[in-house]
Amino acid sequence: MMNGSTIIFYLLALQTLTCGLLSVSTRQIFRAAIYLLFSLIGIAGIYFWLQYQFIAAVQIVVYVGGIVVLIIFSIFLTQQAGEKLPKQRLGRKIFSALAVFCAFALTMLQVYQHDFNSPAEAAQPVTVLNIGKNMMSVGDGGYALPFEIISMLLLAAMIGCIVIALRSKPEKT
Amino acid sequence: MMEPGLYHILFISAALFFIGVYGFLTRRNLITMLMSIELILNSVNLNFIAFNKYLWPGKMDGLFFVVFIIAIAAAEAAVAIAIIINLYRSHHSIDVVNDEDLKY
């Protein structure tokens, strides 16, 4: 018996995996970016299905609204319009697919053989209030220090991007 | 068809991880390799969320790991794209086969 929730989960899984596969296999780079976008939206849908609404919102804002747009802009800056990517050697494709499939089979074998313990503790509601309190807490289980380190990392990354992408001035003689 | 649980999400995340690895091995364009890395990072996030939801629902450690991974992934993508654009300016190509100045 299938209920609506199960059907939605399988549809989201299908969307994520199909679009991910098309994204790494299509030869048109712009289509690869669009397939990546739909794959990331599928993952955000799975987060919604798991009732982690905050993570789903962050996923949509940062990945779909930020990183994919950045990738599309860099495609516009570096690719010629309508030009397909060069074909890869068939041997490389076959060996990569074989290696990846064997690794996947091994991983899934290990996962299905492992018996995960069922949780002992009561569920804590994942509300934005709880997330904010834990994020800013300096006590046990608080994440104030990583939060500050991440903000420093983002600042350093921003300055680094500006320095790397600056067009160097012609030298004065 | 069973009720979706932890094993289903682990299957999706493992499949997505290895799709990303396949893309990373077969692609030779830097932007498409970056896209494969994004897929790999997303599969890791899915794993953290699934373990947090099904095995340790009383804690929020998995959720915070995901938030920090997303922040680091954003910084990484921005720096990578700055490097790619700079490389395109100096070499007029972002194919890894053509950029072998640092080889040997």
Q: What is the mean pLDDT of each run of 10 residues along chain A (173 residues)?
A: 87 95 91 94 94 93 92 88 79 92 95 83 81 85 89 93 80 62
pLDDT the model gives residue B28: 87
**Residue A6 burial (CB < 10 Å; 0-12/13-18/19+)?**
middle
Distance from CA of A114 to the nearest CA of B (A): 10
Residues of B in contact with A119 (CB under 8 A): 54-58
- Burial class of residue B58, CB neighbours in 10 A (0-12, 13-18, 19+): exposed
pLDDT score recorded for residue A119: 74
Domain ranges of chain A: 1-84, 127-168
Å between A171 CA and nearest CA of chain B: 16
**A42 Cβ contact partners less than 8 Å away, ≥ 6 residues apart:** A12, A13, A15, A16, A19
Give the C-alpha separation, B80 to A152, whole Å: 18
Residues facing A102 on adjacent strands: none
pLDDT by residue, tens only, chain B of 104 residues: 577 888 999 999 999 999 999 999 998 889 999 999 999 999 999 999 999 999 888 888 889 999 999 999 999 999 999 999 888 888 888 888 777 777 76
Q: What is the reported pLDDT for A151?
A: 93
Residue B1, pLDDT score = 57
The pTM score is 0.90
**Residue carrying the six token digits 């091995």:** B25
CATH assignment of the domain containing B56: 1.10.287.3510
Say if residues A138 and B67 touch (Cβ distance below 8 Å): no
Q: Is residue B101 part of a domain?
A: no
Residue B35 belongs to some domain of the structure: yes
Q: Is A161 on the interface with B (CB under 8 A)?
A: yes
What pLDDT, on a 0 to 100 scale, did the predictor assign at position A1?
A: 61
The answer to whether residue A93 neighbours chain B at the CB level (below 8 Å) is yes
Identify whether B99 is part of a domain. no
Contact B38 A119 (CB under 8 A): no
Partner residue opposite A165 with nearest CB, options B26, B57, B85: B85
Total domain count, chain B: 1
**What contacts A66, CB < 8 A, 6 or more positions away?**
B74
Name which of B6, B50, B81 is nearest A74 (Cβ-Cβ): B81
Show residues of chain B in contact with A111, CB under 8 Å. 7, 10-11, 14
- Please check whether residue B25 touches A, CB under 8 A: yes
Residue numbers of the domain that contains B64: 6-91
Tens-place pLDDT, residues A19-28 = 999 999 998 9
**A1-84 belongs to CATH 1.20.140.10:** no
Residue B45 lies in a domain: yes
